[in-house]
Chain A
Amino acid sequence: MTWADTLLLLPELIAATGASILLIVPVLGGRARGHMAKWAMLALMAVTALAVIGSTYAVAGVQQTPTFRAMFAVDAFSVFFKLLFVVVIALVTLLSEDFLSEERYSTWEYYSLLAFALCGMMFMASGVSLITIYIGLELLALSSYILAGYYKNHEESTEAAMKYFILGTVSSAILLYGISLIYGVCGSMRLSTIAAALSTMLSNDALMFGIMLLAAGLCFKIAAVPFHVWTPDVYVGAPTPISAFLSTGSKAAAFAVFARVFYVAFPAFHLDWSNVLAAIAALSMIVGNLAAITQTNVKRMLAYSSISHAGYSLLGIIAMNEMGLRGILIYTMVYVFANLGIWATILMLRRHAYAGESVEDFRGLHKRAPFAAFSMVVFLLSLGGIPPTAGFIGKYFLFAAAVQAGFGWLAIVAVVMSAVSMFYYLRLVVAMYLEEGSGAETIYSPSLRFVTALSLTVTLVVGFIPELPIRQVIESSSHLVGRVVQR
């Protein structure tokens, strides 16, 4: 370990240090200045983003720089996700402003926990050893449990946090068990070493079992069926900005891990695990979309829709080809921004802690907030995968990957289900544009407006000029795809 290695760690170090400073400020007398916390947090995000960008220059020309005994790597893949995470956390910070000023909860600790979560996510993106990945994941999960229960005295929030905590711990245990089995067979937790060990094996039941348990643990994090039951309750119960965070940042991090672990470590056993994951993906798409149709609560609907999106993204893992990995990256990005935009609109409609919930709240929104309504339509179309929004580009990659990999049946399920999904997305459009009436009143703060505008810009720009993001994604993922073993 040298100083240069530490420089590579700079983003994580800054996030962790920043989180600690945010904790100390109130003790030093910053308690009364709760509104300063937002700016401090945004500044921290800006510095972290600069550090992430700086770390790319440190590894310019090098494909992958594993440090700390090959446990941590700064590569284009991790940088892509880290930047995405920083942006997500910054946007969630903006989303949280109203919630924090309206409720009576301490702001500094809240942001501190968000920064800890960011730190965990960045470790997940950079981890090239199962142990670093696991600890990063736990750091994220722990912060999320607490944030989900931040409405301490609301029964729903507490229940959500408890449910999330208990199921999350069980899934972590399963994940850990899987890791231990893999370690037992391969003798290492480094992804590259595991891959090398796997390539010499024909088949190994214990290892397959380990891979399956690992996949099950990760499927919990991305909320894929049958590990999805926590999702609706948590999204509804948790404070709305935290639901936004769980459905975007937390999932994106889990997908970063999913992609790296499966693309780097397990390509040799692709034939063995792909069918199981294909079943999970198909179930997620079917159950998620069909369940979403019957929901009248928007948050619940979004929860089920996010389950189905986990199913779509899994296509990229199952396909195990260049297209698939690119698809995961681009779809994650696209999905994150569309979702954040939608959550911003929901927050705008809050009358009290739990508003913006029923579809009726959206009635006649086009009159009260034309810009928000228009953006909402674009976001919903993006989630539905209708061109020329970004969602189409994302889905294009995933569907193409599935077709190319020969999972035609899965691609058919995916396209049919994405058509079905438009049914419930359109319900919101109907409420906003086609039904008159006054739903919930709107409080459209500049922060929310900014989040909406940024998400809208990304969604449209990626939709109309996809070349640039695609190029970026190719660059960010090519070094992982090189390892794919064609069997």
Chain B
Amino acid sequence: MGFYDSGFPILSVITYLPLAGALLMLFINKENTGAIKTFATIVAAVDFVLSVPLWFYFDRKAAGLAMFQFRETASWIPSLGVKYSFGIDGIALLLILLTTMMGLIAVYSSYTAIDHRQKEYYILLLLLQTGMIGVFCALDFFLFYVFWEVMLVPMYFLIGIWGGQRRLYAAIKFFLYTLAGSVVMLLSILALYFFNSSGIPFLNIKGLGNAPSFDVLQFHQIGHLISPQLQFWIFLGFFLGFAIKVPMFPFHTWLPDAHVEAPTAGSVILAAVLLKMGTYGFVRFALPILPDGTRQLMIPIVTLSIIGIIYGALVSLVQKDMKKLVAYSSVSHLGFVMLGMFALNPMGLRGSVLQMINHGISTGALFLLVGIVYEQRHTRLISEYGGLAKQMPMYATLFLIAALSSMGLPALNGFIGEFTILLGVANANIWWAVFAAVGIVLGAAYLLWLYQRVFWGPLDNPANKVLKDVNKRELLTLLPLVACMIWIGIAPAPFFEMIEQPVDYIVQKVDPGYFKRQPVTYPSEAAERAAAVSSALAAIQAEVHR
């Protein structure tokens, strides 16, 4: 395993392995679906296996710029100053692990759900994975932008070809929304680029005269030199690009459509990874590069986040379609992530980052679970179901765990994330925390109500009497997720340890005086406290459910 610490381009290998697999798959006969599925699964599995050692070889203590590890740099377009630059910090590492894991699960879970044009399907799924991992690895803005846009195309096809009734509408909406945001982001990137190099003489913006470069880490160093007004506009561009992807409240309308129409694996990837691109964009680029812009727009963004939390939860309450309900719950949960992030203190950011992972796991699991009954019944209407707990006990159990994790019950991952976010937010402004807490209550309400309607009550719909419980393959896709929920729920310390340095780095950038004003709080301490609370509450919870 000397690969991981000897300058071997491991990140590139992880990124391009799915692409290579997709290209090789072109040579498999499209009638031979068995081989296609097996091959795709092997590729995704190898990718996952390759990414796991990153966790062990990553130096968690490295601070400052050194925390970006597994660096790879090569020249790509020297005349523009574009470099092929890869490197990850703890945040990106967690997201990459999430991506490779979800990628494998998505491939594996599609065996029976996809019944036509399988070859194209798996090729696109693998292409998508390359794009997603590339986004998390890229440390060059140009490269980042390329991966960011590359992701759009496979996802567009995944929704458009294998989606539900209104798939064309959903696919185009998804594509255009995201594209509109990202092209505006491109302008912000350009503004940064010119600020770093030649300046914009027409607007009397003097450049720093550096060599033209898209190096993200260099922008981290020079961002605070930009005048506040300009920072405001650049931040606005980034905000549009990322907020649409997150999606934040007024820009969220593409999400329910895309989720509802996408095939199960598409929804899983969308919820687990694609939405994280937006939040990742904020923590990696917008916040550290544009501290003034961040602070100027803090209040509006926090407001939108709170609206998103409550609005998403309320809309979820009234949904008749299971998938749509989970989709709107994503709006609510990502509101939490954004709120924690814009508390702009270490605690909030830590919770925010962890919640990104949690949301990926929990919501991904929920989408998988909805997909399992959808595949058998071809309906997702809640009213069509009822009493499933008797028919499918295993399924009911797994669904319960996922739902509880999503609503933030102690001993499961959601609680740790939301609790940490609330701590951080309360530190910034107690009223924000109050609103956020309302969101949590509503979250519990819609998920429990969903659970009640689907699983309790009489099993009176005859169509449901023939439903089969989860099979071995489905169980295999769900168990890792459940394991992660429990792991993060009871022992989050390694995760917090992983993101400690990056978060401190960001806070230092956004608010240089923060650590002088506040005594440094040790994250593991808070996490342990949270874990203690959660294990205590676990007992109560078990009592309640009995």
CB-CB under 8 A from A405, the residues of chain B are: 200, 202
Query: Provided the pairs A430-B172, A467-B78 are in contact, do residues A412 and B184 lie with their beta carbons within 8 angstroms?
Result: yes
CB-CB under 8 A from A381, the residues of chain B are: 153
Rounded to whole angstroms, the CA-CA distance of A385 and B175 in the bound complex is 13
Query: B190 near A392 (CB under 8 angstroms)?
Result: no
Rounded to whole angstroms, the CA-CA distance of A416 and B145 in the bound complex is 16
**B-facing residues in A414-442 (Cβ within 8 Å):** 415-416, 418-420, 422-423, 426, 430, 433-434
Query: Provided the pairs A392-B149, A403-B187 are in contact, do residues A430 and B176 lie with their beta carbons within 8 angstroms?
Result: no
Query: Provided the pairs A386-B153, A403-B194, A406-B203 are in contact, do residues A422 and B179 lie with their beta carbons within 8 angstroms?
Result: yes
CB-CB under 8 A from B68, the residues of chain A are: none
Query: B160 near A474 (CB under 8 angstroms)?
Result: no
Query: B77 near A419 (CB under 8 angstroms)?
Result: no
- Please pick, from A385, A406, A467, A471, the residue contacting B200 in the complex, using a CB distance under 8 A: A406
The distance from the CB of A76 to the nearest CB of chain B, in whole angstroms, is 16
Query: Provided the pairs A386-B149, A470-B80 are in contact, do residues A419 and B176 lie with their beta carbons within 8 angstroms?
Result: yes
- Please pick, from B146, B175, B202, B203, the residue contacting A422 in the complex, using a CB distance under 8 A: B175
By beta carbon, the residue of chain B nearest A422 is B179
Query: A399 near B200 (CB under 8 angstroms)?
Result: no
Query: What is the predominant secondary structure among interface residues of chain B facing chain A?
Result: helix
By beta carbon, the residue of chain B nearest A377 is B153
- Please pick, from B145, B153, B176, B200, the residue contacting A403 in the complex, using a CB distance under 8 A: B200
- Residue among B80, B146, B191, B200 having the largest count of chain A Cβ atoms under 10 Å: B80
Query: B187 near A412 (CB under 8 angstroms)?
Result: yes
Indicate if A66 sits at the interface (CB-CB under 8 A). no
Query: A416 near B180 (CB under 8 angstroms)?
Result: yes
Query: A387 near B201 (CB under 8 angstroms)?
Result: no
Binary per-residue interface labels of chain A (70-104) against chain B in the complex, 1 for a CB within 8 Å, 0 otherwise: 00000000000000000000000000000000000
Indicate if A390 sits at the interface (CB-CB under 8 A). no
The distance from the CB of B143 to the nearest CB of chain A, in whole angstroms, is 10
**B-facing residues in A206-252 (Cβ within 8 Å):** none
Query: A387 near B77 (CB under 8 angstroms)?
Result: no
Query: B172 near A486 (CB under 8 angstroms)?
Result: no
Indicate if B125 sits at the interface (CB-CB under 8 A). no
- Residue among B78, B79, B168, B184 having the largest count of chain A Cβ atoms under 10 Å: B79
CB-CB under 8 A from B176, the residues of chain A are: 419-420, 422-423, 426
**A-facing residues in B59-106 (Cβ within 8 Å):** 76-80
Query: Provided the pairs A387-B146, A467-B78 are in contact, do residues A419 and B153 lie with their beta carbons within 8 angstroms?
Result: no
Indicate if A54 sits at the interface (CB-CB under 8 A). no
Indicate if A411 sits at the interface (CB-CB under 8 A). yes
Indicate if A64 sits at the interface (CB-CB under 8 A). no
Query: B171 near A434 (CB under 8 angstroms)?
Result: yes
- Please pick, from B79, B179, B183, the residue contacting A470 in the complex, using a CB distance under 8 A: B79
- Please pick, from B76, B80, B160, the residue contacting A430 in the complex, using a CB distance under 8 A: B160
- Residue among B160, B171, B190, B200 having the largest count of chain A Cβ atoms under 10 Å: B190
In the complex, number of A-B residue pairs with CB atoms less than 8 Å apart: 91
- Please pick, from B146, B149, B193, the residue contacting A400 in the complex, using a CB distance under 8 A: B193
Query: B200 near A466 (CB under 8 angstroms)?
Result: no
Query: A388 near B184 (CB under 8 angstroms)?
Result: no
By beta carbon, the residue of chain B nearest A366 is B120
Query: Provided the pairs A403-B194, A433-B157, A467-B78 are in contact, do residues A415 and B186 lie with their beta carbons within 8 angstroms?
Result: yes
CB-CB under 8 A from B407, the residues of chain A are: none
**A-facing residues in B150-172 (Cβ within 8 Å):** 150, 152-153, 156-157, 160-161, 167-168, 171-172
Rounded to whole angstroms, the CA-CA distance of A16 and B314 in the bound complex is 74
Rounded to whole angstroms, the CA-CA distance of A400 and B145 in the bound complex is 14
Indicate if A408 sits at the interface (CB-CB under 8 A). yes
Query: A399 near B145 (CB under 8 angstroms)?
Result: no
Rounded to whole angstroms, the CA-CA distance of A17 and B172 in the bound complex is 52
The distance from the CB of A319 to the nearest CB of chain B, in whole angstroms, is 10
By beta carbon, the residue of chain B nearest A487 is B201
Query: Provided the pairs A387-B150, A404-B194 are in contact, do residues A467 and B157 lie with their beta carbons within 8 angstroms?
Result: no
Query: Provided the pairs A403-B191, A404-B194 are in contact, do residues A419 and B180 lie with their beta carbons within 8 angstroms?
Result: yes
The distance from the CB of B207 to the nearest CB of chain A, in whole angstroms, is 10
- Please pick, from A387, A408, A430, A433, the residue contacting B149 in the complex, using a CB distance under 8 A: A387
Indicate if B12 sits at the interface (CB-CB under 8 A). no
- Please pick, from B150, B156, B171, B201, the residue contacting A388 in the complex, using a CB distance under 8 A: B150
Rounded to whole angstroms, the CA-CA distance of A447 and B175 in the bound complex is 34
CB-CB under 8 A from A430, the residues of chain B are: 160, 168, 171-172
CB-CB under 8 A from B200, the residues of chain A are: 403-406
Rounded to whole angstroms, the CA-CA distance of A411 and B171 in the bound complex is 26
Query: Provided the pairs A387-B149, A388-B150, A415-B183 are in contact, do residues A467 and B190 lie with their beta carbons within 8 angstroms?
Result: no
By beta carbon, the residue of chain B nearest A412 is B187
By beta carbon, the residue of chain B nearest A381 is B153
**B-facing residues in A447-487 (Cβ within 8 Å):** 466-467, 470-471, 474, 486
CB-CB under 8 A from A392, the residues of chain B are: 146, 149
Binary per-residue interface labels of chain B (200-219) against chain A in the complex, 1 for a CB within 8 Å, 0 otherwise: 11110000000000000000
The distance from the CB of A405 to the nearest CB of chain B, in whole angstroms, is 6
Query: A434 near B168 (CB under 8 angstroms)?
Result: yes
The distance from the CB of A421 to the nearest CB of chain B, in whole angstroms, is 10
Which 5 A-B pairs have CB atoms at the shortest separation, nearest pair first? Answer: A406-B202, A415-B183, A387-B146, A419-B180, A403-B190
With A406-B200, A418-B183 known, 18 other A-B pairs at CB within 8 A are: A385-B183, A396-B186, A399-B190, A405-B200, A405-B202, A407-B202, A411-B187, A411-B190, A415-B183, A415-B184, A416-B183, A422-B175, A426-B156, A430-B172, A433-B161, A434-B161, A467-B79, A470-B79
Can you list 17 pairs linking A and B with CB atoms under 8 Å apart? A387-B149, A388-B146, A403-B194, A404-B190, A404-B194, A406-B202, A411-B190, A415-B187, A418-B183, A426-B175, A430-B160, A433-B161, A434-B160, A434-B171, A467-B77, A467-B79, A470-B77
Which A residues are within 8 Å of any B CB, using their own CB?
A: 381, 384-388, 392, 396, 399-400, 403-408, 411-412, 415-416, 418-420, 422-423, 426, 430, 433-434, 466-467, 470-471, 474, 486
